[in-house]
Amino acid sequence: MLATHDKSPVERAMGYIGIFLAAAAAYWLLKRLDDVLVPPIIGLLLAYFVDPLVIYYKRWLKYRSLAVFAVLLTMAAGITAFVLIVGPMVQNEIAAFREVVINAAEPNSTFRQQFASKLPEGLAKKISKAWADPSTIAFFKENENVHDLAVEGMKRILPGLRSVFSGAMNAVAVIFSIFLSLVYFVLFAADLRRWRTTWPKLLPPSMREQIVHVVHEFDHEMSLYFRGQALVAVTMGLILAVGFVIIDLRMAILFGMFAGLLSIIPYLQLASVPFAVLLAVVTAVEDGRSIGIVLLYVLVIYAVAQALQDWVLIPRVMGQLTGLSPIVVLLSLFVWGRLLGPLGFCLAIPLSCLALAYYKRWLAGESTLS
């Protein structure tokens, strides 16, 4: 309930019971329809994310439908340019790293000898033993091209997604899913502004003000996170990728973009530091450089990127950070993902933002009562 200070205890209890039953019914319905709801949810989130760009184009174009079409062209051009420019470099990086892994598995290889000479004997033996894990070597030997490596890697890293793609890993099914999400995106994007202005009229007058206030709070939290933090994450990916390219780190572009995109959850990019250390060691051994110097370069890049995020990007892009905290974001992803599967990952942030908005409204009502 949105306002309960003027109701009796029995009415409050009945209201809370009603909320609980409604939540349970919603959970059951989402679990039953999760496979069907994933494409429209992705389309809606994408439409919400690019809505400012649609508004910008509408300043120059008369109709919103033309603005949506212009956004689609912009997205297609951006993705095409990224694939054509960055794709070959990433493919070469993955192929080169695959050769390094296979070479490192050979006991008497030059790489193994150089590796052992640059590290303490005990540490070198432990790392070599872990490096030569049969399953890891088989993974790289059996998957020769980038596509096979990516598909098999997704199956190993995210086994929970296998059920989503079971029976649908062929190209036709993937293309159809993408096409369906784009169709939903176009439909939502074309009518998003109209829905925002007309939906309050569908509410009962007695509840309209409270619900509209909660939705506005929800919209603020969503804008702060999805648009602001996503822009910060992409920028961080570019910064880290450029930095790693400058020091000639192995897998520089792919790993830099991956580490930067982890900052969609603030500070989670620091979880990629152990992998950066491993790549730094591989780079130093292959190039005959000092491991300590390469590690120092990597740590300096992380420090500079983090400083730019905290002192430049977040203040300018997001203002005073008042959205979801990193721990709330991380927990919401795990909790909602566990409860609702793939659909939960899509709805984790929106549902958490909605809960936060409702909680703020409840606190405001309690403070007014006191």
Task: Single out the residue in 202, 235, 261 at which a domain terminates.
Answer: 202
Q: Are 93 and 150 in contact (CB under 8 A)?
A: no
Q: pLDDT tens digits, residue range 266-277?
A: 677 888 998 898
Q: Tokens 């679990």 label which residue?
A: 31
Mean pLDDT is lowest, of 32-46, 189-203, 340-354, for 340-354
Distance CA 154, CA 160 (A): 10
Read off the pTM. 0.69
For residues 160 and 306, state if they share a domain: no
pLDDT above 50: residue 15:
yes
Q: Are 38 and 346 in contact (CB under 8 A)?
A: yes
For residues 279 and 342, state if they share a domain: yes
**Confidence band (pLDDT; 50, 70, 90) for 303?**
very high
Three-state secondary structure along 89-128? HHHHHHHHHHHHHHHHHCCCCHHHHHHHHHCCHHHHHHHH
Task: Single out the residue in 185, 202, 219 at which a domain terminates.
Answer: 202
From residue 242, alpha-carbon distances to 102, 208, 280, 282, 298 in Å are 27, 50, 15, 19, 12
Print the domain residue range for 16.
1-32
- Tell me the pLDDT of the chain averaged across its residues: 76
Identify the pLDDT of residue 362.
73
Identify the pLDDT of residue 80.
92
For residues 12 and 93, state if they share a domain: no
Give the count of domains, the chain: 3
**What does the pLDDT average to over 137-165?**
57
For residues 49 and 192, state if they share a domain: yes
For residues 295 and 226, state if they share a domain: yes
pLDDT above 80: residue 121:
no
Q: pLDDT tens digits, residue range 249-293?
A: 988 998 999 999 888 776 778 889 988 988 998 888 888 888 889
Task: Single out the residue in 202, 223, 238 at which a domain terminates.
Answer: 202
**Confidence band (pLDDT; 50, 70, 90) for 364?**
low
For residues 151 and 274, state if they share a domain: no
Residue closest to 326 by CA, chosen among 370, 284, 269: 269
Distance CA 167, CA 185 (A): 25
For residues 246 and 278, state if they share a domain: yes
Mean pLDDT is lowest, of 64-68, 117-121, 143-147, 319-323, for 319-323
Angle between the 342-369 and 34-58 helix axes, to the nearest 10 degrees?
70
